[in-house]
Amino acid sequence: MCGIVGCVTAGDEAPRILISSLKRLEYRGYDSAGLAILGDGEIETMREVGKLANLENSLGDKSIGGSTGLGHTRWATHGRPTEVNAHPHRDGSGRIVVVHNGIIENYRELRAELREKGHVFASDTDSEVIAHLVQSNFDGDLTDAVAQSIRRLKGAYAIGVMHADRPELIVGARKDCPLVVGLGEGANFLASDVTAVMDQTNRVVYLGDEEIATIRRETLEIRKLSGEAVDYTPTTISWSLAQAERGGYPHFMLKEIHEQPTVVSDTLLGRLDEDKGEIRLEELAIDDEILKGIKRVNIIACGTSWHAGHVAKFYIEQLARIPVDVDYASELRYRDPVLEEGGLVIAISQSGETADTIAAMRMAAKAGCKVVGVCNVIGSTIVREADGTIMTHAGPEIGVASTKAFVSQLVALLLFSLKLGRVRGVLSEGDIRKHCQRLRQLPHAVEAALQSEAHVREVALKYVSAQDFLFIGRGVNYPIALEGALKLKEISYIHAEGYPAGELKHGPIALLDEKLPVVAICTESTIYDKIVTNVEEARVRDAKMIVIASAGDDAIQEVADDVIYVPRMDELLSPIVNVVPLQLLSYFVARERGCDVDQPRNLAKSVTVE
């Protein structure tokens, strides 16, 4: 997830406007930032690694002015966060610049083709191919060149393009990534979302997929890829700026819960190869031969990431038939664990900076293990030090309670498990194809799970005064029960525990009475009957049963006080969908109790100390 902005104004104001717009998009990425300003027939670019403030400081030292420009704030996906990989990117002639958000799946093929024609590439990014493609298609009309170029792109993109010989013009286009045009007085703007243009205007046009916008100071023309003109109607935004920064949601946490369908698609993007029956994980950088020989996997993580590790244990054992241990990093580092040379260690961390996870990972590396980091932040310590990585493409998570990052970890870990299964011959090409087909439906299923929001809120309001909660699940959904309990306790300050449902009768059943709400994950699975029995056991002891069930399971209503339905899913994918109502439940309980949902007391987003 990156942020892009553009403007066509009068005078020399473009740098100031673009910096102020980029500040509103820092939530989309902040590992590097850049600007391209067009004045006097030349484009000047500036790029800086790190937060936007670095770019702003270096801009302060220079006297750059111009009426037209593009800007970018990056969250690296392909290529490390370096100046060379920062946007804007230029073509070989330096006359065309491009800013891009998204992932171009076929950039390697395009780059090879363009190299054959003599193009020389400066960066490791997928985005740079767009600048070279536009140059190779440019015949005097920038909009035509962009249209021809995007026909060649596979993947997702929102782009802004500028040509040094075309003053007061920017061209924007998108597919599966957001892009809006802001309509001002004698000036027009381009941005990844409305927050970036709200200082300038509240009239915006949302571009549709594969639409191309030709933006001049006084005019906006939009056309489809076919060339047909689009008749657009501007929308007037009535949100306050603070609301707009959260996409109109009252809290970042709710916004991030709603981003999950997109996050799932982004984490899958470019990784499913049905033609070859393969999972493509390029940054993994560990030979298939090594993966084939692995005898044991150790997973290390903390908190929510540790829950993702428990789901992964289920995935790896079932799909690749390798035994898996899951450890809290803070425990493993002070034990004398058996970490053998040639073993595989998976370090899971959203931030990539959790002190305990880093220490445990270093211990494993010293013992001769191969370390794979599953991480959301590309330049982070874990990514830098691991032998290979699987990036989770969730974009920056602002809410302290992890939601979308967790879901992206589950998707990444499932992809890795499928790859391990294939490499080791447990799964055939045909099996992988079937899994790919199911995975392609996953973003829609997560979207469908979000439809329960209004009902989850009603349920939350019923139990808002409870003192304790119990969450139960079995099999691959047992870690989801743990995650539901953690989410509730950290943001609502209600005591909550997660338990494997089969363990109830070994102790916690003593707690059950009419004051204790029990949330049971009871979706379709091979052990569905077992968990229904556990639900009945709790219900006859007067506990209030809130049941997460598969759509169409009418019978479950007989044993539940409240049922929250989710789409029917393949069991392996069910955790990714089942966690959604649990996130919403904790969100609404905490909100109703007046808690600071995005910044719960005593918690930090990145735990960089022991």
The catalytic residue positions are: 2, 605
Q: Which two tokens stand for residue 279?
A: 């999972």
Nearest to 217 by CA among 190, 189, 187: 187
- Given the rule CB under 6 A, which of 49-57, 200-208, 299-307, 313-321 is the region that contacts ligand F6R? 299-307
In the shown chain, the binding pattern of residues 229 to 268 toward ligand F6R, with x for contact by CB under 6 A and - for none, equals ----------------------------------------
Q: Shortest distance, CB of residue 330 to ligand F6R, whole angstroms? A: 10
Q: Shortest distance, CB of residue 350 to ligand F6R, whole angstroms? A: 3
Asked if 485 and 581 touch (Cβ cutoff 8 Å), the reply is no
- Alpha carbon distance 112, 126 (integer Å): 12
Residue 361 or 439: the one with the smaller Cβ distance to ligand F6R is: 361
Asked if 259 and 404 touch (Cβ cutoff 8 Å), the reply is yes
Q: How far from 94 is each of 113, 127, 131, 134, 214, CA to CA, in Å?
A: 19, 15, 9, 12, 21
Report the run of H or E that residue 158 belongs to, with start and end.
strand 155-163
Restricted to residues 300-319, the positions that interact with ligand F6R (CB under 6 A) are: 302-305
Amino acid at 377: V
| Residue reference for tokens 């789901």 | 311
Nearest to 142 by CA among 244, 209, 247, 223: 223
408 binds ligand F6R (CB under 6 A): no
Residue 45 or 392: the one with the smaller Cβ distance to ligand F6R is: 392
Residue 85 or 583: the one with the smaller Cβ distance to ligand F6R is: 583
482 binds ligand F6R (CB under 6 A): no
Residue 260 or 305: the one with the smaller Cβ distance to ligand F6R is: 305
Q: Shortest distance, CB of residue 403 to ligand F6R, whole angstroms? A: 8
492 binds ligand F6R (CB under 6 A): no
- Alpha carbon distance 474, 269 (integer Å): 30
Nearest to 422 by CA among 406, 410, 433, 413: 433
Asked if 395 and 101 touch (Cβ cutoff 8 Å), the reply is no
607 binds ligand F6R (CB under 6 A): yes
361 binds ligand F6R (CB under 6 A): no
Choose, by CB under 6 A, the member of 214, 354, 525, 534 that binds ligand F6R: 354
Task: Please count the other Cβ atoms lying within 10 Å of the Cβ belonging to residue 400.
Answer: 18
392 binds ligand F6R (CB under 6 A): no
- Alpha carbon distance 134, 117 (integer Å): 14
Residue 66 or 600: the one with the smaller Cβ distance to ligand F6R is: 600
Residue nearest to ligand F6R (CB): 303
Choose, by CB under 6 A, the member of 68, 123, 351, 583 that binds ligand F6R: 351
Task: Please count the other Cβ atoms lying within 10 Å of the Cβ belonging to residue 120.
Answer: 9
349 binds ligand F6R (CB under 6 A): yes
Choose, by CB under 6 A, the member of 85, 135, 200, 402 that binds ligand F6R: 402
345 binds ligand F6R (CB under 6 A): no
Residue 423 or 496: the one with the smaller Cβ distance to ligand F6R is: 496
Residue 504 or 519: the one with the smaller Cβ distance to ligand F6R is: 519
- Alpha carbon distance 75, 33 (integer Å): 9
330 binds ligand F6R (CB under 6 A): no
Nearest to 205 by CA among 234, 185, 230: 234
| Residue reference for tokens 């943001």 | 491
Interacting residue ranges for ligand F6R, rule: CB under 6 A: 302-305, 349-351, 354, 357, 401-402, 486, 490, 606-607
